[in-house]
Structure formats: C-alpha cells, structure tokens
Amino acid sequence: MFGPADWVSVVELTQQSRVADLITERERFPWAVKRVNLSAVEFAEWGVPYNYAEQLAGESTFLKKCGFEDGFGDVHWMTDAAHEVIQQAVFDSRMYGSVLIGGLGLGVITRRACMKQEVDRVKVVELDEDVIRLVGEPLMQAFPGKLQIDCADVHEWIPDRHYDCAWFDIWPDVHPRYLNEMADLYQAYSPSCNMVDFWMLTELGSLLEECRTSGDVELTLKTWDMVGMTFKQVWEGLDLCHERGKKLLHNFMAKGLRFEEQAHD
C-alpha cells in the first residue's frame, strides 16, 4: 500500500528498478538506450522534497525513439527514473503467479516481475524486433525459463493460456485519448486474465481529481507537465490515484464512451 506522501517507498522502489547493470547503452535505429543524469534540483522543481530528491538524483537509463512517426520528433519512450517507475508501482505491488506484459519498453516492470518470488512465469508481447534485441535478449539471458517474449501486436495476439495478471504499456505519453485503446484491450484480455492493468491509470486518476476540483473540463485536452503531475500523485497517495484511474476507465467502458479530441483554433 502507498499512502499519501510515501516518499520512502518511492525512493526504495526506484533504486530497486534500475536497469543499468543489465541493459547496456546501444542503438538499433530508430531505438537507442542512453544514460541521462537527472539532478536533485530537477526533482525538487517537480515537487519532490529535497532530501528525497537527492536520493532520486543520478544516472537513469532511457529508451529513446528517434524520428517518431506521429510527429513528436525524438521521444524518450521510457526510463527507469522515478517519474516512470511510480506509474508501475501499484501493479508492481500486486502482481503474482503468471504475468502477461504488453509492451516491453525498457523492461523495468518485466525485470521486476521476473525477480519476484510470487511470480511463476512472465510472458511479454512486444511488436518491435529491435526493442527485443536491445532490451529483451539481455532479460531472457538473465531469467532463462521464467521469461518468454513473443514478437507480436498485442491488439492481434491471442492469449496462449489464462494469466493471473496483465499489464499494458504501449503509449509514448499520458493522455485521456488512450482510454479508447485501453477499453478495447481490457475487453479483449479480461476473459483470459484475473487482473488487467495499464500504465498511466494512476496519473489519469490524479488528473481526474484536478479536473473535478478546478472545474476546468478542458484540462484533459491540454498539454500538462507530465512529470509534475506524476509527483503530485505521491502527495495524494498512489493507491488512491490508481483506484480513481480504474474507476474512470470502468465508467468509460460502462457508458460505451469514446474519447474525441476537440479541435482548437
């Protein structure tokens, strides 16, 4: 459980989630694994108390995609820095048995699953062969017999068995527009999985509360400070924000909604 302002757990989980000892700096265009130094000042500016910011600072590993086709340019797709790790924290604390992971990324949650005694086996479904080469191969060498990776599209892949837990992280940024895709994946996989969870639900739960308290219904259509919003969740409590995000998704599905972005002049 993650209570409000549980910075001790955030620091501990982040330190346990570093992948630099396993994932080396390499490139397979358009993907690259890079090391980036984040300072305590940066974390403090994002709302982290300085004594904890000092513990979170230092070298982090980033998975970068160059020339991303949707017009973003170069994108930091994933990192093992704190602002990414805490998006996985609630699922990390709950996963058990057989775990299905949609989207390999930098392999942070995959490695965490493989390290847990409560987890028996891990199956990853990843579309990009180059990501599997950069990240998946070192992970499979580190966890032979426990980890399997299928190169496939999670939207088309058919579950090969029943899974206890499923986690999907296939998006480059945080935005309510992905509720459409999350709803589709939930409906496709829930018959084969006891628990289905998604990256960004915790952050969307925090955003939902900010919309409610501010009365600014347009907030969900704006670009916001993703990192700043992320650490706002720690102050509120990660479990609480995650439950809000799950409620948002389930209400979205129950009402048969589809997210449509409004055009702005």
Q: Is 130 within the bounds of a domain?
A: yes
Residue 218: predicted pLDDT: 47
Look at the chain and report how many structural domains it folds into.
1
Q: How far apart are CA 170 and CA 101, in angstroms?
A: 10
Q: Is 21 within the bounds of a domain?
A: yes
Residue 183: predicted pLDDT: 95
Residue 172: predicted pLDDT: 84
Residue 22's CATH number: 3.40.50.150
Q: Is 45 within the bounds of a domain?
A: yes
Residue 261: predicted pLDDT: 61
Q: Is 63 within the bounds of a domain?
A: yes
Q: Is 136 within the bounds of a domain?
A: yes
Q: Is 217 within the bounds of a domain?
A: no
Q: Which residues, including other chains, have CB under 8 Å from residue 260's CB and lie 6 or more apart?
A: none
Q: Is 75 within the bounds of a domain?
A: yes
> Within a 10 A sphere around the Cβ of 30, how many other Cβ atoms?
15
Residue 73: predicted pLDDT: 59
Q: Is 154 within the bounds of a domain?
A: yes
Tell me the per-residue pLDDT of 30-79, one tens digit each, with 9 for 90 and over: 999 999 999 999 999 888 999 999 999 999 999 999 875 544 557 889 99
Domain that holds residue 30: 7-201
pLDDT along the chain (265 residues), means of 10: 92 97 94 96 92 96 78 77 94 97 98 97 98 98 97 97 97 85 96 96 77 54 50 88 90 85 50
- DSSP secondary structure string, the chain? ---TT-HHHHHHHHHHT--TTTS---EETTEEEEEEEE-HHHHHHTT--HHHHHHH-EEEEEEEEEEETTTTEEEEEEESSHHHHTTSHHHHHH--EEEEEE--TTSHHHHHHHH-TTEEEEEEEES-HHHIIIIIHHHHHHSTTTEEEEES-TTTPPPSS-EEEEEE---SS--GGGHHHHHHHHHHHGGGEEEEEETTHHHHHHHHHHHHHH--GGGGGS---HHHHHHHHHHH-HHHHHHHHHHHHHHHHHTT----PPP--
